[in-house]
Amino acid sequence: MGFVFAKAGIGQFPPIFLLAFRFGLAALVMVWFAPLPREEMPRILLISLIAGAVSYSLTFMALRDIDASLGTILIQLEGPLAALLAVVFLKEKITWLRGLGIAIAFIGAVVIAGQPRLEGALWPILLVVGGGVTWASGQVLAKTVSHIGGFRLMTWIAVLVTPQLFIASFIFEDGHMAVLQSADWKGWLIVLYLGLGMTALGYSIWYRLIARYSVNQVSPVLLLVPVIGVIGGMAVLGEQPTLITLVGGAIVIAGVGLSTWERKSPRPVAGEAPRDLPTA
């Protein structure tokens, strides 16, 4: 439901400004439980810039012009993109099954983007894909500091990305004082949900699950995200995704699911960071 509420929030706040409040609130709550990884801070700063400020800004700016249901489907390409970048830069190997899943996921994205209804939405679609590429690049870097633990890493990403987002918002967006004065209680409730519910509480639960179960046991749950996003977009925002979008979305989900399936699932060490940080 993250994209659904983000789409509603963008109706009252500029997208980058909304992100700054989201991560700022999360940082205020999470920072008390995550010791400072002093030696890794320069690298975490770079990760926060690439996978945080740039990636989320591109994605949220795209939400101004496309449906939340479409965005939550396309953002699933982040996983396959991260796998491909890991092959190139970390020399990781992928099985033929994962490779097939990645290919299927991209075919689904092409099916969605090729429909006539979206001819004028090419730019926001590219923004989502760009957000996926930068997020995936950040995950490659995040693997190099995974020893500090996923929750700790996410906490300090939130701390470092908050001032970046506020600065970017004041550079690229305007009307901040007017927005603060005009936002109603629904807008501020969305800010609280994105910052405290989705980011602080959501990531805390995610990393607790990762510490107790293998990544392959809990990752399939993430495949419910686009399904819930589409249903939420229809129920909350009144969106009406086309049949082609739904079919393409199903292809993307099937491909992502196939690309994350493995025969053996070694249980990770408690506190170990997952292969990829959850999105949205």
**Cα distances (angstroms) measured from residue 256 to each of 98, 99, 145, 151, 215:** 9, 10, 25, 24, 14
Q: Give the dihedral of Cα atoms 102, 106, 112, 118; nearest 10 deg.
A: 140
pLDDT at 279: 59
Name the least confident of 11-15, 171-175, 206-210.
206-210
Contact status, residue 55 vs residue 15, Cβ threshold 8 Å: no
pLDDT at 194: 94
Residue with tokens 């506190």: 271
Tens digits of residue pLDDT in 16-31: 999 999 999 999 999 9
pLDDT at 54: 96
Mean pLDDT value of segment 104-131: 81
Binned at pLDDT 50, 70 and 90, residue 191 comes out as very high
pLDDT at 49: 96
Handedness of CA 154, 126, 222, 220 (dihedral sign): negative
Binned at pLDDT 50, 70 and 90, residue 230 comes out as confident
Judged on CB neighbours under 10 Å (0-12, 13-18, 19+), 231 is middle
**Cα distances (angstroms) measured from residue 212 to each of 109, 110, 197, 206:** 33, 37, 21, 10
pLDDT at 236: 86
Tens digits of residue pLDDT in 231-279: 888 888 888 888 888 998 899 889 888 877 765 544 444 444 444 555 5
Residue with tokens 């979008």: 245
pLDDT at 188: 95
Cut 0.85: pTM above it: no
Contact status, residue 115 vs residue 251, Cβ threshold 8 Å: no
